[in-house]
Amino acid sequence: MVKGKEKDEGDGTTRERTILWDEDQTKYILGWFIDYIKEQHAGFKIKKQHHFKCSEALNRQFNMGVTATQVESHFRHYKKNWKFIRTALSKSGNTFDTSKFMVIISESEKANLQVRARRLLSKPIKFFNEMQDLFLNSSADGSLAMDANTCLNETQADEDNDYDDDLCNELSSYAPPEDNLGDDSDTLPSPISG
C-alpha cells in the first residue's frame, strides 16, 4: 500500500491554497473585470474562462502564480459583499456616506443582520466604487430605459423616422366603429340571430 500514490490519483476535489490579497491586487482584479465587461455585449455573463484570463493578467502584473479558482473565489467574495450592501441600501431610511464610504444603518436593523453583513456594514467599505461599477449593472434596474418615442426621435435620422409618417399615424382613413356589431367572430352566434 502506497499512500502517496492514492493521493496523486486524486479522484476527489482539492482545495486551492488560501491567499492573502493585497489591496493593489484586489483593485487590479476588480478593475480588470470592469474593463473586460465594458468591451462585451449586453447579456454577458462571467464564466470560468474569464477568471482564467484575469488570473493570467494578474500573474503577469504581480508575478503571483494564482489560479483561476482563486481569482473566482476572490471575485465571488466581493460579489457577495455587494449583495449585502445593495440589500442594506434598498431598505428605507438607509443611506450611504460618500465621504466615509459607510452605509448609514440603524443599530436595531444592524442587530438583525448576518454576522458577515454586520461586520461589513459597520466600517468603511473598501473598493465601494469598484464594486458599484462592476456589480450595479448586473441586474436590470431600469436606469437605461427610454420612452419609445424619445428613442425613435433621438436615434433615427428624420428621413428614416417613420414616427411622423402620415400613412402610419393617420387614423381618419379608418371607418368609425359601429355601435352594434352583433355577433363577434370569437363568440358563439346567439340563437335569436339565426
Owning domain of residue 123: 21-35+46-138
pLDDT over threshold 60, residue 158: no
User: Does residue 107 lie within any of the structural domains?
Assistant: yes
What is the rounded distance in angstroms from the CA atom of residue 194 to the CA atom of residue 126? 79
Low-confidence winner among 4-13, 42-51, 100-109, 172-181 (lowest mean pLDDT): 4-13
> In total, how many domains does the chain have?
1
User: Does residue 15 lie within any of the structural domains?
Assistant: no
User: Does residue 84 lie within any of the structural domains?
Assistant: yes
Binning pLDDT at 50, 70 and 90, where does residue 142 land?
Answer: very low
User: Tens digits of per-residue pLDDT, 19-55?
Assistant: 899 999 999 999 999 999 999 988 889 999 999 999 9
User: Does residue 85 lie within any of the structural domains?
Assistant: yes
pLDDT over threshold 90, residue 166: no
What is 118-152 written as a DSSP string? Answer: HHHHTS--TTHHHHHHHHGGGS--STT---HHHHH
Predicted pLDDT at 140 = 45
pLDDT over threshold 60, residue 17: yes
User: Does residue 51 lie within any of the structural domains?
Assistant: yes
Predicted pLDDT at 79 = 96
Pick 178 or 100 by higher pLDDT. Answer: 100
User: 28 vs 34, 36, 49, 58, 157, CA distance in Å?
Assistant: 10, 12, 18, 7, 42
User: Does residue 129 lie within any of the structural domains?
Assistant: yes
Supply φ then ψ for residue 141, to 5 degrees: -120, 0
pLDDT over threshold 50, residue 143: no
Amino acid at 138: S
User: Does residue 60 lie within any of the structural domains?
Assistant: yes
User: Does residue 122 lie within any of the structural domains?
Assistant: yes
Predicted pLDDT at 124 = 95
Mean pLDDT to the nearest integer, 128-150: 67
Pick 75 or 108 by higher pLDDT. Answer: 75
Q: What is the mean pLDDT of the chain?
A: 78
User: Tens digits of per-residue pLDDT, 80-124?
Assistant: 999 999 999 998 889 999 999 999 998 888 888 999 999 999 999
Question: Residue 123's Cα: distance from chain center in Å?
Answer: 25
